[in-house]
Amino acid sequence: MTFGERQEVCPVCGERARVTRKWVMNKYGKRYDYFIYHHEGAIHYSNQDQKGQKYIKKGELERVLIETINSQDFKLGTFRNKDIKKLLVKNFSDIGFGSIKVSLERLAKIGMIEKHKRGRSLYYINTVSKDRLSFVINSLKIGLVDIDKDYTFKKHVFTYIIKNDHSWPLYYVPFRYVGDVDMRFEDIELHATDPSNSKDFKVLLIEDSPTDKRVLLKMPIPLLPGELRDIKVEYKWPEPKMSFVFSAATRMDNFQFSISGDNDIKLSASLTLASRNETRELSNNSMEASSPMWKHISGIRISDVEPFSVLQFKWKHS
C-alpha cells in the first residue's frame, strides 16, 4: 500500500529525492513500513523502523561536528555544508542544513574552522590540519604511580604549563596519549582539571584506536595570545613492558618525570636529540625520595628540551 510522495534527503546517499512511503504485511501478520527514495536512474530503500537511529540532543551538534571534523577519518581539507550533511545523515537523520550551517558559523567564530566564499558557494577549512590549535609546552611533569603494586605503574598524571604563542585565542587544545596495551577510551578514565581551582575541562574524544587516544580539551576561558595556563590530565593505562617513551613537538623549558610506588625500583633514562640524532644517558641524574603516601619515588629533571626529542624511561626491580 502507498501513502503518498514528498521530497526528503535520502539516508542512503544524502541526496534529495522524491520519497514514497509504503507498507506490506509479512507472513507472520506483522505490518512492515518502509520508504522508497527515487533518484534519476536509481532507487534506494529505507526501513521505517528507526530504533537504532541516533538523534542529536539540543546543543550537542557542535560537539558532534568537532569530533567529526577532527577525526583522523575525516579526509576533507575543505568542505561544504552538504558534505557534512552526507557524513552525518546516516547516523543522525534529524539534522537539517540550517542547523549545520549555524553550528559551522559558531565554530568559525572560535577558530576551529575557517570559511571562504568561492563564487556562490561557501567553503570551510579544517584549521586543525593547519596547526591553528598548536601551543607551546613551557613545562611538563609526568608522574607514573604503581597503584596496583605490580610494577606496571598504571596511573598517569601529566601536569602542563602551556602557552598560546599565536595571535588568536585558543578555545580548544589537542592532546594525544598512547599505550602498549589495547584499551577502550572509557576504560582509561581520562579526565582533565585546572590545578588552580580543580575545575574540570570538557574532554572531546576525536580518535579512539586501541593504543592511541586523541582528545580536545575545551578551555572554560579562552587562552589569549601570550597567556599561560596550567592543565592536569590523569588516566589509567598499564605499562607491562616497564618502560615509557615521550616526545613533544615544542621546546620545553623544564621537564620532570617520576615513578612512585611501595616496591623498590631502579629508574634509567635517556634523551635522543632530534637535531643531532645523539643519545644522552640521563640515569646518573636520577633522584630518589619518599613520601607519606609512597615509600619509593624515583625521578629525572632536565631543562631546555629540544622539539621532537625522544625521552625514554625504563625501570626494574631493585
pLDDT at 50: 46
In angstroms, the Cα distances linking 160 to 194, 213, 252, 311 are 10, 18, 10, 16
Query: What is the pLDDT at residue 56?
Result: 60
pLDDT of residue 212: 92
Q: Tell whether pTM > 0.85.
A: no
The CA distance from 141 to 70, in Å, is 27
Helix ranges restricted to H, the chain? 61-69, 81-89, 97-109, 185-188
- What is the dotted CATH code of the domain comprising 61-129? 1.10.10.10
- Return the number of other C-beta atoms located less than 10 Å from residue 213's C-beta: 22
Taking the C-alpha atoms of residue 117 and residue 82, their distance in angstroms, rounded to an integer, is 15
Question: What is the predicted pLDDT for the residue at 14?
Answer: 61
Beta strands 191-194 and 199-209 are: antiparallel
Cell readout for 64 is 558532534
Q: Are 230 and 160 in contact (CB under 8 A)?
A: yes
248 Cβ contact partners less than 8 Å away, ≥ 6 residues apart? 137, 140, 305, 307, 308, 309
Residue 305 φ then ψ, to 5°:
-85, 125
- What CATH architecture applies to the domain 136-317? Sandwich (2.60)
pLDDT the model gives residue 55 = 55
- Do the strands 212-223 and 170-178 form a parallel or antiparallel pair, or are they unpaired? antiparallel
HSE (CB half, 13 Å, CA atoms) of 110? 17
Helix axes 97-109, 81-89, angle to 10 degrees: 120
Residue at 104: amino acid letter: L
**β-pairing verdict for 212-223 and 278-281:** unpaired
* Amino acid at residue number 67: E
Question: What gap in Å lies between CA 198 and CA 194, rounded to an integer?
Answer: 5
Q: What is the DSSP string of 276-316?
A: TTEEEE-GGG-EEE--SS-SEEEEEEEEEEPTT-EEEEEEE
**9: its cell numbers:** 534527503
Instruction: Note down pLDDT in tens along the chain; length 318 residues.
Output: 444 456 776 766 667 788 887 777 776 677 767 778 888 878 877 765 544 445 566 567 887 888 787 776 776 667 888 888 888 877 776 677 788 888 888 888 766 777 777 777 787 876 655 466 789 999 999 999 999 999 999 999 999 999 999 888 888 888 999 999 999 999 999 999 999 888 899 888 878 889 999 888 888 888 999 999 999 999 999 999 999 999 998 899 999 999 999 988 899 999 998 877 789 999 888 888 888 999 999 999 999 999 999 999 999 886
- Name the 3-class secondary structure at 61: helix
Sign of CA dihedral 30, 31, 37, 41: positive
b/e 215-254 (16+ beta carbons within 10 angstroms → b):
bbbbbeebbeeeeebebbbbbbbbbeeeebebebebebee
Q: For the chain, how are helix, strand and coil distributed in percent, rounded to 5? A: 15, 50, 35
